[in-house]
Amino acid sequence: MGQAKIALGAWAWGNDATFGNNYSLDDLKPIFDTAMKNGLNLWDSAYVYGMGISEKILGSFLKTVPRETFEISAKFTPQCASMFKGNPVTSMFEKVPSCWELIL
């Protein structure tokens, strides 16, 4: 797999229409499939995108393709840190259902 030059952001996937429309799995799956088919394999995600819903949706799609066929760009959101005890980065990774749980 070559280095991806374009990332597809999943920030509006599964949110409450704050950033556009409220897309369903049926709306998003063809976008995912078309992107992967055409070599768009770098996916941008973050817990704050729909408070984990975006990651769950993306993860459900990613688990249908071989792991070596995609890359993920994920971010920690400091504004969400207060939700977690101890080390917020570790807690967020360990306790929040995300695309990581679904594909690893």
d(CA 54, CA 13): 5
Contact 8, 42 (CB under 8 A): yes
Does residue 73 sit in helix, strand or coil? Answer: strand
Distance CA 29, CA 60 (A): 10
The reply to whether 47 belongs to the active site is no
The active-site residue, picked from 13, 32, 49, 70, is 49
Structure tokens at 19: 């950033």
Q: Which residues are catalytic?
A: 49
